[in-house]
A = this chain, B = another copy of it.
Amino acid sequence: MTIHAPKTLPEGGKAQRVYLSLSNEISNGVYAAGTMLPGENRLAERFGVSRITIRRALDALAADQRIEKKTGAGSIVLKPHEDGTKIAANFATLMPQLVEMGQSTTARLLSFSYGPAPGGIATDLNLGKGQSVQTAIRVRYADGKPFSHLTTHVPEDIARHYDEADLATQPLFQLFERSGVSVQSAYQTVSATLAAPDVADALEVSVGAPLLSLRRIVRDINGRGIEHLSALYRPDLFRLEMNLSRVGAGDARHWEPVIGAPE
């Protein structure tokens, strides 16, 4: 399932909306694989647009290998292409997995500087106002495709334990352990955003494409902020996943994340 609309469709036009709707309905099985879609005229009427618009949406779906157009007959829904390339990170054990990922992925350092922490970040890290942090922006690639855009803020005194070269080759987290920083706790938030121009450019998606957004604050044993991460992921290449298990009995029965086990 490619969420990202093909560039052939006018960005944000009716055709794209029809495309998104149909794409969704196919994913959700409203139109099952192997069955025929309604005719173009029928769809045009249903969506309240002209046949040409429907046509463009169908062409885009065909280009995505989601349907096959049969001249004179109609469009048949194809079986979804298995995205072997999708990178999955276990949300519960995210960081160790990133270490592993570090070995099969590439990172590019886009920006690197020291300076006073922006307001929100300083608050999150419990820093004094104007205290200096290292700000680094990196993009991670898998198979030559950029799948994540990472902005990290680290208090300067901690950041001085490693340099730019380290950042381009090793995950930030690994550098901490090596520096003897006693990492203790982390707080993560997940949300969604749209790609702004700079990020869109770095991640090779169009402006306004949906991105998975993860924010993480890591603290040391004293509760001091060590790292502030703001990560943006391409949903077509990356997803967070997690297994839960129902444990306990009676009133105490509740959910617990499964730690070691992937799907």
Are A186 and B118 touching (Cβ within 8 A)? no
CB distance from A245 to the nearest CB of B (A): 5
Are B93 and A240 touching (Cβ within 8 A)? no
Say yes or no: is A179 at the interface (Cβ < 8 Å to chain B): no
Q: Could you tell me the distance between the alpha carbons of A188 and B258 in the complex, rounded to whole angstroms? A: 11
Which residues 1-27 of A have a CB within 8 angstroms of B? Answer: 3, 11-14, 16-17, 20-21, 24-25, 27
CB distance from A66 to the nearest CB of B (A): 12
Number of copies: 2
Say yes or no: is A191 at the interface (Cβ < 8 Å to chain B): yes
Given A151-B28, A246-B184, A255-B92; A191-B212 close (CB under 8 Å):
yes
Interface size class of A (residues with CB under 8 A): 35 or more
Are A213 and B186 touching (Cβ within 8 A)? no
Q: Which of B122, B193, B209, B259 contacts A24 (CB 8 A)?
A: B193
Say yes or no: is A106 at the interface (Cβ < 8 Å to chain B): no
Say yes or no: is A128 at the interface (Cβ < 8 Å to chain B): no
Q: Mark A196-232, 1 if CB is under 8 A from B, else 0.
A: 1110000000011111110000000000000000100
A-B contact pairs, 18 of them (CB 8 A): A11-B14, A17-B197, A20-B197, A21-B194, A21-B207, A24-B194, A28-B121, A29-B121, A48-B197, A88-B189, A93-B255, A186-B244, A190-B240, A191-B235, A192-B210, A192-B233, A193-B210, A210-B211
Please report A residues at the B interface, Cβ cutoff 8 Å. Answer: 3, 11-14, 16-17, 20-21, 24-25, 27-30, 32-34, 46-48, 80, 88, 91-96, 117-122, 151, 183-194, 196-198, 207-213, 230, 233, 235, 239-246, 254-259, 263
